[in-house]
Structure 1
Amino acid sequence: MSKAFMGVRLRRLREERGITQAALAQALAISTSYLSQLEQNQRPLTVPVLLRLNAAFGVDVQIFSEDDEARLITDLREALSDGAQAETISVAEMRELATNMPAVARTLVALHRKNREGVERAEAMAARLGDEWMGDAPARMPFEQVRDFFYARHNHIAELDDAAERLYAATGLGPRTVHAGLAAWLAKRHDVRLIYDEGETAQRRYDPASRALHISPDLKQGQQAFQMATQLAFLELGDVIDRLADDPALSGDEARHLARIGLANYFAGALILPYGDFLRAAEAQHYDIERLGRHFGVGFETICHRLSTLQRPGTRGVPFFFIRVDRAGNISKRQSATDFHFSRVGGSCPLWNVYEAFVQPGRVLTQLAQMPDGRTYLWIARTVGRGNAGYGVPGKTFAVGLGCDVRHAPRLIYSKGLDLADPGAATPIGAGCKVCERPACPQRAFPPIGRALAIDQDHSSLTPYPVA
Structure 2
Amino acid sequence: MKQLKIFAGDRLRRLREQRGMTQAALAQAISISPGYLSQIEADQRPITRRLLLALTQLFNLETGYFADDEDLRMAGELRESASDPLFGTAVSADESSAAVRVAPEVARRFLHLYRSYLALEEEHRALQTSIAQEGGGAASRFPYDEVRDWVQSKRNHFDVLDRAAERLAAAKHFRPENHGDDLLKYLRDAYRIRIEHAPEALDSGMIWRLDRNARTLFLSKDAPSESRLFWVAHVIGLLEQRDTIDRQVRQAGLSNEEAAALARVALANYFAGALVMPYETFLSNAREARYDIERLQRRFGTSFEQVCHRLSTLQRRTSPGIPFYFLKIDIAGNVLKRSSATRFQFARFGGPCPLWNVHQSFSQPGRILVQLAATADATTYLCLARTVSLSGGSYLSRPRAVAVGLGCEIAYANQVVYSKGLDLEDIEAADPIGPGCRACERTDCRHRALPPIGRPLDVGTAERGVVPYRIETRMRQR
1:216 to 216, 220, 228: 220
- In structure 2, what residue type is equivalent to 1:237? Q
Q: What is the aligned partner in structure 1 of residue 74 from structure 2?
A: 72
Partner of 2:233: 229
**Equivalent in the alignment of 2:319:** 315
- Tell me whether 1:252 sits opposite 2:248 in the alignment: no
Aligned residue among 271, 280, 285 for 1:281: 285
1:187 alignment counterpart: 188
> Does the CA contact (< 8 Å) of 1:149 and 1:249 recur in 2?
no
Residues 198/291 of structure 1: CA separation in 2 closer, same or farther (3 Å cut): same
Mapping for residues 16-415 of structure 1, pairs under 5 Å: 47-48=43-44, 66-82=68-84, 89-125=91-127, 127=129, 130-132=132-134, 138=140, 141-201=142-202, 203-247=207-251, 249-415=253-419
Mapped to 1, the partners of 2:2 and 2:361 lie a distance apart of 41
Tell me the number of residue pairs that the alignment of Structure 1 and Structure 2 aligns.
418
Cα displacement (A) at 1:331: 1.0
| 1:149-196 per-position Cα deviation (integer Å, ceiling 9, x unaligned) | 211111011111011011101111111111000111111111111111
Letter in 1 for 2:440: C
Give 5+ residue unaligned stretches, structure 2: 7-38, 47-65, 473-478
241-250 or 370-379, larger mean C-alpha shift? 241-250
Q: CA deviation at 1:117?
A: 4.0
Aligned amino acid, residue 293 of structure 1: Q
User: CA deviation digits over 1:336-377, x for unaligned, max 9?
Assistant: 222212111112111100001111111111111112222221
Which amino acid is 1:146 matched to? Answer: V
SS in 2 for 1:358: helix
Going from structure 1 to structure 2, the CA distance change for 1:177 and 1:92 (only over 3 Å counts) comes to: same
Output the CA distance in 2 between the equivalents of 1:331 and 1:236: 31
Contact kept? 2:126, 2:137, Cα under 8 Å: no
Q: Is the 8 A contact 2:76 2:96 kept in 1?
A: no
Shift in CA distance, 193/392, structure 1 to aligned 2, threshold 3 Å: same
CA displacement, residues 182-224 of structure 1 (integer Å, 9 cap, x when unaligned) = 1111111111111112435372111101101111222222221
CA contact (8 A) 1:443 1:464 kept: no
Distance in 1, Cα, partners of 2:438 & 2:230: 38
**Worse overlay, 447-456 or 427-436:** 447-456
CA positional deviation for 1:136: 9.1
**Residue 457 of structure 1: CA displacement?**
4.2
Displacement after TM superposition at 1:90 (Å): 4.1
Task: Assess if the C-alpha contact under 8 Å between 2:82 and 2:91 holds in 1.
Answer: yes
Q: What is the deviation of 1:323?
A: 0.7
- TM-score norm. by structure 1 comes to 0.82
Report the AA paired with residue 48 of structure 1.
Q
Asked if 2 retains the 8 angstrom alpha-carbon contact of 1:439 and 1:467, the reply is: yes
Supply the distance in 2 between the matched residues of 1:249 and 1:231 (Cα, whole angstroms): 24
Which residue is equivalent to 2:55? Answer: none
Ranked by relative contact order (alpha carbons within 8 Å, sequence separation 6 or more), the top structure is: 2
TM-score by length of 2: 0.80
Deviation at residue 456 of structure 1 after TM alignment: 3.0
Structure 1: which 5+ residue stretches go unaligned? Answer: 11-42, 51-63
2:209 partner SS: strand
Distance in 1 between the 2:404 and 2:107 partners? 32
Structure 1 residues 415 and 65: CA distance shift in structure 2, 3 A: same
Supply the distance in 2 between the matched residues of 1:193 and 1:126 (Cα, whole angstroms): 46
Give the 3 Å change call, closer, same or farther, for CA 265–287 of structure 1 in structure 2. same
> Aligned residues: percent identity?
42
| Deviation for aligned residue 1:46 | 6.2
Once the two structures are superposed, what CA deviation does each residue of 1:90-142 show, in whole Å capped at 9, x if it has no partner? 4344444444543444344445444444544554455556343686974x611
1:79/1:108 contact within 8 Å kept: no
How far does the alpha carbon of each residue in 1:295-321 deviate from its partner, in whole angstroms, 9 at most, with x for none?
111111010010010011111001111
Residue identity matched to 1:419: D
- 1:199 and 1:104 map into 2 onto residues whose CA distance is 52
